[in-house]
Chains A and B, each alone.
Chain A
């Protein structure tokens, strides 16, 4: 008894493939190129990122050394590419752990409300009250320098931001009729939280995650600059700048390479974030 005709179904597949969204496309493609370069770093360059060759120290950029060499004769371009492994890892882990933890806590706070929400809310308020960078530095200084401790510090400090976003979305969504319908149908709390609320609440958190990624890369570089993150001779952008900053005026190429890398990665993830934000707005509208 099909007495109703349907509008033609939309094309299948991810929307960004057929909906014009250039910042998302350019961002994703650039990010993929950077990621592949980091993974296949030994294929991208033939130099060793760590071996010292003082005879070649502080050579300006040339066809053989695109970004010149540093004070220990290491190819700057090679070190920038290898450093992407460390810095992208800081961004990825620094986003993934807080995103997962913050999302689950935010769902619980928003869904159950009452004293659960009140307790979580106070913890969030306390952590947010501290300046971000100060708290990260304090935790790393307390735990000791190193990347693992940096990940712990980033997670402890930034899960609260995701909790805030997801909590607010959850509170708005749980009054929606489709969530009421899910309860009416006898679905369990976990199914409602993760199957019906989370997929509709996650978009703004993912948009925020992109700017958070850029921030984490910068914080990682900053802490390494201060000697609290990656340790020499590991190639890492912030550490590279720290090691060579005294030569900045006589041999500027030693800091230009890693500095540019930080800027480019931040720009690329911001493009992705912009594109995602645009998509989210279109979904809502």
Chain B
């Protein structure tokens, strides 16, 4: 890994509780890489996502994006750099402003950042919708017209409108029907290849993450307990927690089979 686009060094976050939500997490993300993060609920996955996107200020540590420590920036300076790291959230039903049409929501992003002129917004919105596999007529509709999977596509389109370099997918499919999950996962993989995005894909489904991401971080109680490199399968994991997770999955399969 020659030149990482993102380097996270020892970020921690405590929300008033006795135990930190995130305790000194460090990792690197290469350009065009897709990095998996897996862990049970409460293991600090979402806190990690929010701290990397600077939606939460880490208590300690550095988030170095393109050579600059975002965690050290003041809010005003940070705002201009935010569009480089975009997040797709877990709950597609809470992720879209119900009072804005899809076209307005996507157009707003481009107008705020001066990524398109007002006259050409419609064209750019149509392109974005096409990229995520939605018809251009979707631009005139409000979020309530769409299903969970369609909403998640819109959220991806909104993130893409900011022309990001890193996409954080925080359990983007765990609230979707199984039949729709694969479509959204494939869309993210497809976009990564076409646009050269770097992706942090967070989830609790070990097999899904193993399938998507060559390199996987395993989280437990706010710490990264194991990094499974690209050339090794998750099946040969060394840490006892990862092995326990694997065994739980195979036990379930035995029960189901």
Contact = CB atoms under 8 A, between A and B. Distances in A.
A20 B119 CA distance: 39
A199 B137 CA distance: 24
Interface string A1-12: 111111101100
B133 A4 contact: yes
Contacts of B28: none
Contact of B137 (A6, A178, A191, A196): A6
Contact of B99 (A5, A180, A191, A199): A199
Nearest to A181: B95
Interface string B144-185: 011001100101001000100000000000000000000000
A185 B112 contact: yes
Contact of A177 (B82, B89, B133, B137): B89
Interface residues of B, number: 41
Contact of B112 (A1, A7, A180, A186): A186
Contacts of A188: 79
B252 interface: no
Contacts of B80: 186
Interface string A190-211: 0100011001100000000000
Given A181-B155, A186-B112, A9 B133 contact: no
Interface string A99-128: 000000000000000000000000000000
A40 interface: no
Interface in B86-111: 86-87, 89-91, 94-100, 108-109
Given A2-B134, A6-B135, A177 B95 contact: yes
A1 B138 CA distance: 14
Interface string A40-63: 000000000000000000000000
Contact of A184 (B87, B96, B99): B87
Given A3-B133, A6-B145, A186 B94 contact: no
Contact of B97 (A3, A6, A196, A283): A196
Given A7-B145, A185-B109, A180 B162 contact: no
Contacts of A177: 89-91, 94-95
B79 A4 contact: no
B82 A185 contact: yes
Contacts of B108: 187, 195
A4 B150 contact: yes
| Max chain B Cβ within 10 angstroms of own Cβ: one of A10, A178, A183, A200 | A178
Contacts of B96: 178
A185 to B, nearest CB: 5
A245 interface: no
Interface of B: 50, 53, 55, 79-83, 85-87, 89-91, 94-100, 108-109, 112-113, 130, 133-135, 137-138, 140-141, 145-146, 149-150, 153, 155, 158, 162
Closest 8 CB pairs of A and B: A186-B82, A199-B99, A177-B95, A177-B89, A177-B94, A178-B97, A2-B135, A186-B79
Interface of A: 1-7, 9-10, 176-178, 180-188, 191, 195-196, 199-200, 283
10 contacts: A4-B153, A9-B145, A182-B97, A183-B55, A184-B82, A185-B83, A185-B162, A187-B112, A191-B112, A283-B98
